[in-house]
Amino acid sequence: MQEEQTIHLTLAHDGGNGYMKDRINGKTTIFPSVIADFMPGMQNVTVDSNSREDVENFLDDFINNMDVTTNSKGINDNGRYLVGQAAAYSGIHVTTFNVGNSAGKNTSDISVIAALAFIAYNALNIYYRHHLVLPDLLNVSVDKFATDLPIDEFKNQGIVQSFIARFKEHLHIVTINNFDKPINVHIQFSQVAVEPEGLTGERGLIISPTYRGMYRDDDVFNPLLLDYQLDHFDGQDMAEAGNVICIDIGDGTVDFSTMNGLSTLTLANMNDSLASGVGNVATDAINALHQKYPMIRKLNRQKFMEIANRGNDRESRAYKEFFDEQVKSLNRRIISKLSVIYNSLDQQVGMIIVSGGGAIALKDSLAPALKEAMSKLDIFDRTKIFWVDKEFAQTLNLDGLQARILSMRDDD
């Protein structure tokens, strides 16, 4: 083991109700937004720190084996936790974002614990690949950090500042428990930005998440090219599209945001949230499934949706049918809210964007309902509907956060 070292990182962290989407030093990782208490008597695989092969094999797959102890004043309930996939497949009770709770993401420990664990393991991986030995203590400086909150929470600047403080104002000690000798990682944050969900996704369609100061120009726009037979469309075209409404469908919220270029429209109710998402639908579907088939245990939301979206086997079709039956009410609420915003803009809307991880699950049922609603609202057929493709829908907010990181200066 070696003496302490400092690793410098940048992190874009979209702490979704269903999945964490993280981009650390440019690399994207997605894992379930779940944690589980490590209970007395539980056994975990212990990695021999002197075996290079064992350590490298573990670090190749650390995302599925995160086991940490936290000590931070930014966390309400410190302890030993399995994080992400390790929690989801532990077979014990897991803690998820309570999508039926009005407290909000800003008060939950899940996003903070997940971010700190992810930072700690990535820093250890970087250090080991360079030195080929494990450290006794590892110092990490997160030089630039951008994360987001639902629009309704973001409207309260007291909440925003409190959430920033949870990261920035404390030393976070994370102990990695997978090795024969625990490794302590000390994490501190320098620049911290909190952005509104939905709006940051819209900005991520205009500004390149890869090249600072450039318009975005990649395959994210392919659905527009195909649906409207366009020769070219990029971030500059998006900036010049006029009023744009974005519907960001998440696990616990649906965020509606309205922009014109990079300017946010601030009229009443232009940027708002529905306190419901596909996670609520999944919870209702899980209860309905269990009521009809009591022998099927109640799964967590992530596992239920994994099966429902798995494919065309009999079990998957059954789960999807229960989900589709429950989703009708959410679709109606989305259409109703969109109609209010659309009419508030005097029908002067150049584009409607549908994105978010939940957009993938809702597309089969919401797309035809949205098309029918727009046929009545948009009699001149001038508003384009941009349904962000599966490859990009879940990470659009993350792209906006990455663009925000690129905009941060070293002396901010």
Element (DSSP H or E) covering residue 330:
helix 328-344
Q: Tell me the average pLDDT of the chain.
A: 91
Q: Which CATH class is domain 216-393?
A: alpha beta
By C-alpha distance, which of 373, 316, 381 is closest to 349?
A: 381
Write down the domain spans for the chain: 5-196, 216-393
Q: Would you say the pTM of this structure is higher than 0.75? A: yes
- Give me the CATH code for the 5-196 domain, please: 3.30.420
Tell me the per-residue pLDDT of 285-310, one tens digit each, with 9 for 90 and over. Answer: 999 998 998 888 888 888 888 888 88
The per-residue pLDDT for 4 is 59
**pLDDT at 402 > cutoff 90:** yes
Cβ-Cβ contacts under 8 Å for 105 (sequence gap 6 or more): 15, 17, 97, 111, 149, 150, 153, 252
CATH fold match for the domains 5-196 and 216-393: yes
Q: Tell me the CA distances in angstroms from 80 to 22, 48, 67, 77, one per residue in order.
A: 22, 21, 7, 10
The per-residue pLDDT for 152 is 87
Tell me the per-residue pLDDT of 67-108, one tens digit each, with 9 for 90 and over. Answer: 999 999 999 999 999 999 999 888 888 888 876 555 678 999
Distance, CA of 119 to CA of 185 (rounded, Å): 9
* pLDDT greater at residue 369 or residue 26: 369
